[in-house]
Amino acid sequence: MTERTLILVKPDGVARGLVGEVLRRIERKGYKLVALDLRQIDRATAERHYAEHHDKAFFSDLVDFITSGPLVAGVVEGDDVIVAWRTMMGATNPVSAAPGTIRGDLATQMQLNVAHGSDSVLSAQREIGIFFPDL
């Protein structure tokens, strides 16, 4: 089924010059970029985006990190893209992310794991609404 998901190249990925690498994987796979923007987000936006993690011990570190520099936000469209993009990113912890995945190939630390992707149709709608309210 054709779906849309929110993708982020997080501030670590932008700082390391990995925007092209991440977008290349999306385009080669055959997905379509329907929105793309380089921006730095404020704490209120970060807290909304990561609201599900509000009570976790790492929440304030996560908000510090995601607001620390520019990120690339995008909306990607394609067949079953929500699950497929999460497969392409690999496990949240790069230590256990499979080789061939973004996190498996490009990252070593849980927080600095380069990319984000929505985890369900509902999260995708919610997150796209936060980053691209006009879509």
Q: Which residues bind Mg ion (CB under 5 A)?
A: 119
Q: Does 119 bind ligand IDP (CB under 6 A)?
A: yes
Q: Does 113 bind ligand IDP (CB under 6 A)?
A: yes
Closest CA to 4 of 56, 79, 55: 79
79, 62 Cβ separation under 8 angstroms = no
Q: Which stretch binds ligand IDP (CB under 6 A): 19-27, 75-83, 108-116, 124-132?
A: 108-116
* Residue 58 binds which of ligand IDP, Mg ion, none (CB < 5-8 A, kind-dependent): ligand IDP
Q: Does 92 bind ligand IDP (CB under 6 A)?
A: yes
Q: Does 116 bind ligand IDP (CB under 6 A)?
A: yes
Cα distances (angstroms) measured from residue 51 to each of 55, 82, 84, 98, 121: 9, 19, 23, 27, 16
Binding site for ligand IDP (CB under 6 A): 58, 62, 92, 110-111, 113, 116, 119
